[in-house]
Structure 1
Amino acid sequence: MPAADIQQKVRALMPGVIADLEELISIPSVAFPGYPEEPMHRMAERTLELFREAGFTDAHLAEVPHGYPPIYAELPGPPGSPVVVLYAHYDVQPAPESQGWTTDPWTPTRKEDGRLYGRGAADDKSGLATHLGMMRAFDGKPPVTIRLILEGMEETESNLEEFVEAHPDLFQCDLFVVCDMGNLVAGEPVLTTALRGDVSCTVTVRTLDHPLHSGVFGGAAPDAMMALARLLSTLVDDAGDVAVAGVTTGTWEGAEQSEESFLEGVPLLDGVSLIGTGTVSDRLWAKPSINAIGIDTTSIAGSSNVILPQASAKISMRIVPGTDPEAELDALVAHLESHAPWGAQVEVKRVKAAPAFLVPSGGSGVSAAREAMSEAFGSEASEVGSGGSIPLLQTLHEACPAAEFVLWGPEDMDKARIHASDESVDPDEIERMIVAQALLLEKLAER
C-alpha cells in the first residue's frame, strides 16, 4: 500500500482509535498491590476484545503463576514473511490527588492545546491505540506475521520476564517493536537506542534502642533521621553528580537534546537550577542518577518532641548502558554501609538490579524503521537515549538473540508528563506513529 494511501486511511480511522483510547483511559487499571482488582480485570477483558476485533482472533489471557495476565496472540502473515513481535502494556501508574491533577485522571479530557489528558493517555494506552490503529489500517491482515504481547504489570513487579523465560518459543522473531517510548518533542521523530538500567535498595539507619525526649537528650544523643539525611547527602556531590565510588559514568555520542527543550518539560521553581555536569543528554542517557524515592519516619502530623531511634529510605539509582547491574548495586550498598555518621548502624536490603539496554545496531529492521519514521513525520529520524528502564528488553534479547529492536511510541518527553499529574498525549502523534508502524511492516514485507 503506498504511503499516501496509508496516511489517508489512518486519518479516516482516527476518530474510532481515539474513542477507544478514551474508553481505556477511563478504566483505572492500576496493578499496584492494594488497588482494586476489578478494574484490572475489566481492562484486560476490554483490551482483549478490541484486539480480537482488530484481527487477532486467537488473542487470549496467558496463564501466569502470579499477578495479572499478559495478552498473547499470533497472526500468520504470508508464507515466508518476517515475524514481528508487538509490545505494549495495559496497566498504568497510580494517580493520587496529591499529585495535583487539574482534571479527573480517569475522565479523558481534551484541552485547548488539542491534547488528550488522563492517566495512561500516553503511558502506555497510547501504545495500545497505535497497535490497534495499525491493524485496522491493514483491515486485520498485515503483510507480515505478528506476535502480540500486551503486559499487565509493567508499572509494578512484572511477571512477564518469567513468562518469556518459561516460553521462549513464543517470542522468536525478526524484530521486536516496543511501543512504550516517544519523541523528545511531538512531531520530531527519533528512535531510542539506549536505556539506563535501574538498581534499588532500602537503607535503615538506627542510633538508639528507643525514642528519647528531644529537649532532655538533644544535642548529645544522635537522631536517626538526621543521620539518614547526612548519609543520603553523601550520595551526590555539590553539583548533583553521583558520588558513589565504583559506579560507571559516560558520555552520550548520539543526537543531543538541548537544555531549552528539556526545560520545557521540567517545572523548576524560581531560583532552582538543574543538577549535574555535562550535556543534558549526558546526564539523562549516559550518566547515573540517584534519588531517594521514599522515606519511612514519623509524619509531621504524628510528630512530637522525640529523638527518633530509626529511619529508613528507599534508594533508586539509574545505571548507564553496558554495565553489570549487580556490580553497580554492590557499589551503592558498599557506599551506604560505609558512610553513616556517628557510628550509626546501617542495614541495607537489595530490592532490584535491572539491566540497562543497548539496541543492537546495523540491521535492516532498524533501517526500515528509520525510513518509516522519516516518511510518516516528514523529517529524518535521529537517535536518542532514554533515562527510563525496561528490564524486559534484555530478557527478550536473551530469548531471541538474533532479533532486532525498534523502540518508539507517542509518549513525547516534552509534554506527556508520564507518571506525573496531567499526563497527556497528542492525538496527531498517535496518528503519525500508526502510519510509521504500518509503513515499517510494509518495508519489512518488501525486503
Structure 2
Amino acid sequence: MKETIVSSCERTFLKKAISEGTRLDGRQFNEWRKININFGTDWGCVHVSLGETKVLAQVTCEVALPKQTRPNEGLLNVNVELSTMASPYFETSRSTDEFIQINRLLEKALKDSRAIDLESLCIVAEEKVWAIRVDVTVLNHEGNIMDCVSIAALTALTHFKRPDVTTTGEQIIIHTLQDKDPLPIVIHHYPVSVTYAVFGDNNAVIADPTIIEEKVSDALLLFGVNAFRELCGLHLAGSALTQPELILSCANKSAERAIFVVQFIKEAIAKDAELRNFQNTVGFDKCIQENKITALACERMPIKLSKFNPDNDFTSKKRPGNGFNKHFYFNDENEEQINEETSSEVCINSVGTGSAEVTNEAPKFGEGLKNTWIAEKQELSDLDSASEEEDQKPCISTKMEYKSKTKANVIVIDSSESSEEDVVLLEEEIVKIDLTVSSNDV
C-alpha cells in the first residue's frame, strides 16, 4: 500500500500555524510528548510509548563464534522491524529507505560510540562469545520513530541479564537462573536520539515532530547525545536553510533532553527491580488490565465550559463506562435546589480521540421506541379472569407513605373492581400508595 499523501491544504495550514507559533497538538516548539515504559515478565522485554508512537523491544542472547578481526569481543546485532500494524504502507517483505536508515542510525549510536562493553561478553577467547540480539518492533507510528526506538533499545539492554558462565579447562557450564543470579550487560554510557523538524521558510525548529509534521517539514535533524553531553551521532535528512546559531541551540537542548531520558530510564528500571524483589506482579497483563499500553488510549481530558457562570453551584456525576461522559446539574437562582433526577443536564459526550461534544438538552426517553406499556391480548385476558376471581374474595388494604424526592407527588390507587391505575398529581410533599392485597397472598 502506498503512503498517504499530504494535501496542499494541510501543508499550507500546518506551515501557517508554525509561522504563528502554534502546533496542531497544542505543544510548544521545544516540548516533547510523554514517555511511558512498561516491562514484561522476561528480562529485556520492554514496551515504550512516546505519545501515541509505541515500540516493543526484546533482547536475547546465545553462544556464538567471535569475529576473526575481534576474537576477544562479543557480538551485538540490532534489528528494527516496521510492522504493517504500525502503518499500512509499511511492507515486511521488502526493505524500505526508512527501515534501512533507522537500523543504521541505531547501530551507529550503539556500536560506533562504544556504549556496550563487548569485551565483557567474551567466554573463551577466539572460541566462544555471547551474541546479543536486540529486536525492536514498531507497533504504532505517530511520528518520531527514531527517538522511541532508541529509548526502547537502551532500556531493553539495561534491563536484560544474561546467564552466568563457568569455565573449567575445556568445559563450559552455563548456569540457569535458579543456580546463579544472571549478570547485567555492562553499559558505559547511554546514547539517546533527539529529533528536530526544520521548517526553512519560517526559520523554525520543533522538537519531537508528529507524523504530519515530519512529512511537511523541510528537513529532519537527529542528534545522538549521552548524559555526559557528548555528541555520539549526527544525521540530517532533507535540506533547509537555517542559521548556524539555531543548530547549536538545538544541540544544547538535545543534551538536556538526553540527561532527562537517561534519568527516566534508570528510575523505571529501579522501580521494576524493586517490584521483582518483593515478588509483586509484573508483566504486560497487568498493564493491559490498567489500560496503560492499549493502542490509542488517552487519559481523562478536562473541559472548560465558558458559556456558564462559574459562580453558580453545580455538582457533577460521572457516568459509568466512559471517562469522558459527565453530567452537570445547575441550580436556578429563583428556585430551590432541584434533585438530580429532575434537573436539566449538560452532557459531554466523547467524539473520537481527544475531543468532546457538549449538549445542553436533557435526555428524552421514549422517542421513537416501541411502547412496552401496552399489554398483549393474552395478558389482558388473564388479567380479566383474575379480576373476576378477586371480586369474590375479601381484600386487605395496606397504605404506605414516604417523602417524595421530586416536586411533583403521585398517588397510585389499585382497586379490585378495576384493573386500571389512576395517577393523580398533588401539591403535597407526601406520596400515598394504596395497595390492595388479596387474602390468598397474605
Name the TM tier (shorter chain). Answer: under 0.3
Whose radius of gyration is greater, 1 or 2?
2
Which of the two has greater strand per residue?
A: 2
Q: Report 1 or 2 for greater relative contact order, CA contacts < 8 Å, sequence distance ≥ 6.
A: 1
What is the TM-score when the length of structure 1 is the normalising length?
Answer: 0.22
